Amino acid sequence: MKDKNALTTAQVADILNVHVYTLYPLLNSGELKGFRLKTHWRVLRKDLDAYIEARKKAQGGLKT
């Protein structure tokens, strides 16, 4: 798979290891930045990375 900047909800769900339906409230609220192409959501990789970093900071970082 070639590196893509705009990810589908299925790709984002796979990266986050969550069900795709978990993403829709995040996208609709703007907590996870995304955009629509007609009826389909897309998330820029940089926005997904920013969301992950924000969640890690909010939870005090990942504990190993």
CA 55: distance to chain centroid? 11
Tell me the pTM. Answer: 0.83
Secondary structure percentages of the chain, helix, strand, coil, to 5: 50, 15, 35
* Rounded distance between C-alpha atoms, residue 22 and residue 54, angstroms: 17
CATH of 6-58, one of 2.60.120, 3.30.1370, 3.40.190, 1.10.1660: 1.10.1660
- Which residues on neighbouring strands pair with residue 53, listed in sequence order? none
Strand segments, DSSP code E, in the chain are: 6-8, 35-37, 40-44
| pLDDT of 1 above 50 | no
| pLDDT of 18 above 80 | yes
| pLDDT of 31 above 90 | yes
